[in-house]
Structure 1
């Protein structure tokens, strides 16, 4: 994506680290964690590659078309999975946003470099609003809340890949990354 190089490298680091953690989450004992971790790892690594500053490498047009094809397939998978759970809709919207950004990069690459951009299209605004709300909600869910005393009895210790707050932090960081990428579009 186009924008300041330092911000681009920070975004690359954030997204790559998130993708790596999501790969490790695929070893979770919790089935739902394993099921969503692969798609989230794909999203994290793809966002990292897409965020490499344009001054370092400016991929040819076919790379952006390949991104669009991969995330189009991911969107279809998310659409199929959405039949069983509402949380898959977020993955669907994220995949559509990646398709949208990839196609935008193929159509007017100079406009994205800051040369003659005529304003943000409506779809960019819709994605920005969605991901802003998603980030705020996810951040609020991570904030500590007062809870009742822990129930008596033995509890099963969770492994580091099974921690729901780490999965939520992973999703939060990808949502922030998506916001940053959409802002540079």
Structure 2
């Protein structure tokens, strides 16, 4: 049962990936960080969430789509590994330095879940509810992803996507 479910989730995730690839008309975004202290996927996720915070929703979606195919595979593999090992999801909120280091090691699920959260929220703000539902469903799969809030704690994009996505279904 579990393997069948994982197979279906993976299928739909990659189906959505193909939609992102063909929908991407943003060839101008450079998917690589120029900051030696910030990895490429972290730069991508941070840029997308910054655009969202500035109400630049269309640019946020284009930024997510521009690099999604570069990082999504690693995130899916990482999440499937966590699921196969029945690994407990990292905590949200304030954590110890040791726990923070462990969370940061999950770079792929962290960055892709943040990017998908940003895309889903942006699409919803733009009124494109059907595409927002797809992005929320992708985000929900990455349960081990965590986002760092500059105020000093981690939050779960997947948990927020569940909450926001449910509101769109009702």
Q: Taking structure 2 as the reference length, what is the TM-score of the superposition?
A: 0.31
- The higher radius of gyration belongs to 1
Q: Taking structure 1 as the reference length, what is the TM-score of the superposition?
A: 0.29
RCO greater where, 1 or 2, for CA within 8 Å and sep 6 or more? 1
